[in-house]
Amino acid sequence: MSKIIPFKAVRPTRDKVSLVAARSYQSYTKEQLESRLRDNPFSFLQIVNPGYRFDKDISGEARYSLVKNRYLEFKEDGIFKQDETPCYYVYRIVDREQQEFNGIVAATSALDYETDVIKKHEDTIAYREIIFKDYLKTVGFNAEPVLLTYPDNAVIDSLIKKIQKERAEFEFTTTYRDTHYLWKVDNPKIIEAIQKEFENIPTIYIADGHHRSASSYLLYKDLMDANPDHQGDEPYNFFMSYLIPESDLQIHAFNRLVKDLNGLSKEEFLIQLDTFYRIENRGSMPYQPSKKHHFSMYLDGDFYSLYLRKTIYQIETSLDGLDSQILYKTILNPILGIEDLRNDQRITYINGKKDLVNIKSSVDSGESKVGFVMLPVCVEEMKQIAEDGLTMPPKSTYIEPKLRSGVTIYEF
């Protein structure tokens, strides 16, 4: 049973929301960040990068305190206002390719995370969890929802469609040409219907935001232990999420680039590959794999197809059958000597939405030696990994939608 509840969001005013909304801080280049901080005083980036005002890089607790100060200033200046009653927020994104994402922004139970009602499919790094937990504890708010997915549900779908017939509270288009819509749901009967329907869903899945979920859970544990009057309904018992049906989720592959062949010549490398794969040279034209356990490789000016020899590689678990795991177990680790996929500087990742030309260019320029392309993970694979209590290799999925920070804010 999933506990998904309404909350009192802090939101930008309608006339400012398009200026406030920002992508994830890490997604901007240095030049883009400088431009937005210089030209847009309302951007949420002004809050999360408070050192810009002092022309100084600030980190740690000093930065966290300044982030809180900038946030309070946005509230004092009337840029942000808090809703008076708990609400759900129906959120729709239509991207530049006309893909639609429809879901509900709500508060999700940290206890559900603890008891595995909310299931995970990725490992997290402990020190990153703690850093973000400390950040949340100091600033007192979270501005970027965790992306969760649930099995398609006809009742929730009909409620969302009914709400979307009304005028949206927010409607704005980004410079990426994605259009965002938000409807505030404050009707008690509709709130009750949504909440009860989610209670009938036994399991929901983290699609994107494993570190944010883990940090929010650590914050819940800290604040619960520090509160002798803990009741279980305090805001810190929950974290903000954007819940969308599985059919709306878009999963792309993360392709791999490796800087060298681990001391092997091209011929020696191909000979070692032959142990696990039937190899065909496809020439210089970009070549995409056509099915699972089938990879495209770009090496020394040519694309190759790699067909897994199933008599050699044994699939015993759901993780064994994942293409990113197969690539690691048959090539990246045993042949190229890469053990730590998260930290090894010899490997880089390119999300599968980008053209194969990006891989070709990296290899042709000498920046990388070889590139690998695979098909994306499907929703059922992701769910099975989570159900089995296993975790995918890092950068196994590039998941959409990507949300904007600062549109809805959850205070602890």
Query: Cβ distance 392 to 377 under 8 Å?
Result: yes
Best CA proximity match to 173, nearest among 354, 404, 398, 410: 404
Residue type, 202: P
What is the helix, strand, coil percentage profile of the chain, to 5?
Answer: 35, 25, 40
Distance CA 385, CA 383 (A): 5
254-375 is a CATH 3.30.1760 domain: yes
Burial of 97 (0-12, 13-18, 19+ CB in 10 A): exposed
Best CA proximity match to 183, nearest among 6, 4, 400: 6
Burial of 9 (0-12, 13-18, 19+ CB in 10 A): buried
The domain segmentation of the chain, as residue ranges, is 4-251+400-411, 254-375
Q: Which residue has the tokens 């809050």?
A: 47
Query: Cβ distance 226 to 387 under 8 Å?
Result: no
The residues pairing with 400 across neighbouring beta strands, listed in sequence order, are: 250
CA dihedral 19, 21, 22, 23 (to 10 degrees): -140
* DSSP secondary structure string for all residues of 164-184: TTSPPSEEEE-TT--EEEEEE
* DSSP secondary structure string for all residues of 110-136: HHHHHTTSEE--B---HHHHHHHHHHH
CA dihedral 317, 321, 323, 329 (to 10 degrees): 60
Distance CA 289, CA 306 (A): 8
Distance CA 45, CA 51 (A): 11
Query: Cβ distance 96 to 176 under 8 Å?
Result: yes
Residue type, 379: V
Distance CA 79, CA 95 (A): 26
* pLDDT in 10s for each residue of the chain, 412 residues: 899 999 999 999 999 999 999 998 888 888 999 999 999 999 999 999 998 888 888 889 999 999 999 999 999 999 999 999 999 999 999 998 899 999 999 999 999 999 999 999 988 888 999 999 999 999 999 999 999 999 999 999 999 999 999 999 999 999 889 999 999 999 999 999 999 999 999 999 999 999 999 999 999 999 999 999 999 999 999 999 999 999 999 999 999 999 999 999 999 999 999 999 999 999 999 999 999 999 999 999 999 999 999 899 999 999 999 999 999 999 999 999 999 998 899 999 998 888 889 999 999 999 999 999 999 999 999 999 999 999 999 889 999 998 899 999 999 9
- CA 275 from centroid of its chain's CA atoms: 35
Q: What is the DSSP letter of 405?
A: B
For position 120, what pLDDT does the model report? Answer: 95
User: Which residues, other chains included, contact 361 with Cβ-Cβ below 8 Å and sequence gap of 6+?
Assistant: none
For position 342, what pLDDT does the model report? Answer: 85
For position 27, what pLDDT does the model report? Answer: 85
Phi–psi pair at 9, nearest 5 degrees: -75, 145
Helix, strand or coil for residue 361?
Answer: helix
Helix, strand or coil for residue 311?
Answer: coil
